[in-house]
Structure 1
Amino acid sequence: MRCVLFGAVFCGVSFLLNPALADPPTPPASSPPRDQPAWVAEIEAAVKVQKGRERKMYEEYAARGGKAKAPAEQDAVDKWAADAGEELKTTDRAAARALMPLLREHAADPQVYMGLAFATMHGGSDDREEAGALMGRHHLSNPIVLSWAQFGRGGGCDDFREPIIRGLLAERARTPKERALLQFALAVHLKEKAEVARMSDPSIARRYGRDFISKVRKRDAAKLEVEALGILDQLVAKQVPGELHRGVSIVERAKEEAYEVRHLAVGKKAPEVVGEDLDGRAMKLSDYRGKVAVLTFWHSRCGPCHVFARQELKLVARFAGRPFAAVGANVDEDRDAAKAVVEGLKLPWRSFWCGPKGNAGEVPRAWNVSGWPTVYVIDHAGVIRAKAVRGPELDGLLDELVKKAEADAPR
């Protein structure tokens, strides 16, 4: 359970590197093989060191988490993970920067792909952007590039994906399914960039870095959104065949993403939720107007939901007496299972019960809930200000929003 959270803390090997490096590279010998240039061995060694550092941190996190029992001990483990993640990020960026001269020199060589992939995911903003441009210029024929471009979730936090996807779409030798998958990936990517451009600094600075944020904010968020919607609507109108994943059609996902752009994007008014809580009492989301609300969709068997609830407990205590509220939306089909968790964790806030259909119920579908916890931050005026934000970023954002709610409160 805790390793799931650790994956959110450490942004190390991503879906881009996983296909390319499914098998760790063979450690280089003291002298490179006759058919392998020295620069290839140097890149492989750097990537191997990075993967080793990441693996060691995962193992240590699992060991520390297994020993932690009391909430204070668990908090200490989470703080260690956050600090270790920052340290890993710093060393990875330094390693990517050190590789850039080699990557530039051998940019067209197929063997350089591993190094370019490493730099695009672990370098600083400028290095990611340059490595991505080199990949797009020389390696569009690599099937791994096509694979991650099609199936990635868009990746609003990167500097390199958009030109690569556009480059792949510009090639005529794309099958209809490849083209549809690439168009979907581009639309989601543009949607995510538009949201980053509209989000407050405290909610994204640690995740994306100020250098990348400054670049994204030079883009016109409205135009990004319009292009994303145009692509999604076109996919739906054409009823393109094929599945995004097994059992999930491209058309259905395009509908969901278009709905999210129109109704659930940062800056949109939050949809009303009318229902009953876990005790059967009527409640509405608009009852919390005037307060900053953290709306969390959760399930009783979701480990990361329990971890996030611990942070919410601290937030409720820290903002006591101020315009702030935690609001749950439980997707258990069995209401009693949810009530048992609330009692066990001593959660003082109310949760909507989404009904016997669980995550397939009307409310989760209206909020595009596909995993747990799904978190929305809603300001005192009922406007969505952030999504999927937790940890220190959530703390900083709430400080900003609660102060604004207090300043706008009638005297």
Structure 2
Amino acid sequence: MKNYLLLLLVVPGLAAAQTPIPFVLTGHLGADAYRSAPTYVYLRYGRIVDSAVVKKGRFELKGTVDAPTKGFLSMRRNMDDLSDHKAVFYLEQGTLVFTSPDSLRNAQVGGTPLTDAWRVLLTVEEPINRQLNALEKELRAATPAQQQSPAWRQGLQAWRAALLRERTRLDSAFVRAHPASMISLYVLNTMSKDATHDGLVTALLPTLAPAVGTSPLAGEIRTKIRQNALGIKAQTALQVGQMAPNFTQATPEGRQVALADYRGKYVLVDFWASWCGPCRAENPNLTKAYHAYKGRNFDVLGVSLDEARDRAKWVKAIQADSCPGRKYPS
């Protein structure tokens, strides 16, 4: 058999390590895994791809990483489907040991703190992930009648939502049980990709050990949550029926114009730029709208997105397009 490794992702937030970290991978595979000769195992981490010959079921790989790094080891050259022929682990200082009676998929992997904690997490999540895989198979095998059935789709959606809630509960329990492991921080980083988990992630971050909770990745997670909160606040402010947020910008003549100056009017706010051809192509239509409704308490406010260094282009575009009655703060 041939071995092939899926790509390995550098763990976010730890890429700035200064001293190379040496690692060793050793493996002992059962005869079923290496009947063909020669047999190779393939490892890829970062942009590095390495391989080793399996001799009498044994192999060894050595290398260095700049930071603890997640990796995949495989015995397949086909890179399209490694789901059944790979081992997942973390490369860090120390020796990782693989033992399996047949394939890498069934290998027992351990020997370093991150990988040991990672395997615990996989064991915790395995029942839920197995059901999620079954759900996906059912979805792919659906008949046309099922696909068009709202009740069938709603049933699958409810099933999936329940499984994801349970996985979140299990992951949260893992984080609380392993506060000193960076794996817990990686779990929270994954959770934080869904803004609906921001409250939970915010509550769990302080439970981490100081060395983990003050790491660069923890800072990135906190920043992401703050940005999500600002985005939600902005979305709420821009919902239909809400008062538009006020802003103040200068006209070409230097006069300050605020949206609040138009309170009580119907205002069409047009965001444009001198470099935006489609925006400027709409100017004749804006002129028509202004002339059609200017007697009905209507006005047009054009807000430029040009950079300050492009002021000359902005002013030139205003002069070239000449939209009567339109205000041009920038």
Rg: which structure is higher? 2
Structure (1/2) with the larger helix percentage: 1
Q: Normalising by the residue count of structure 1, what TM-score does the alignment of the two structures yield?
A: 0.33
Structure (1/2) with the larger strand percentage: 2
Q: Normalising by the residue count of structure 2, what TM-score does the alignment of the two structures yield?
A: 0.39
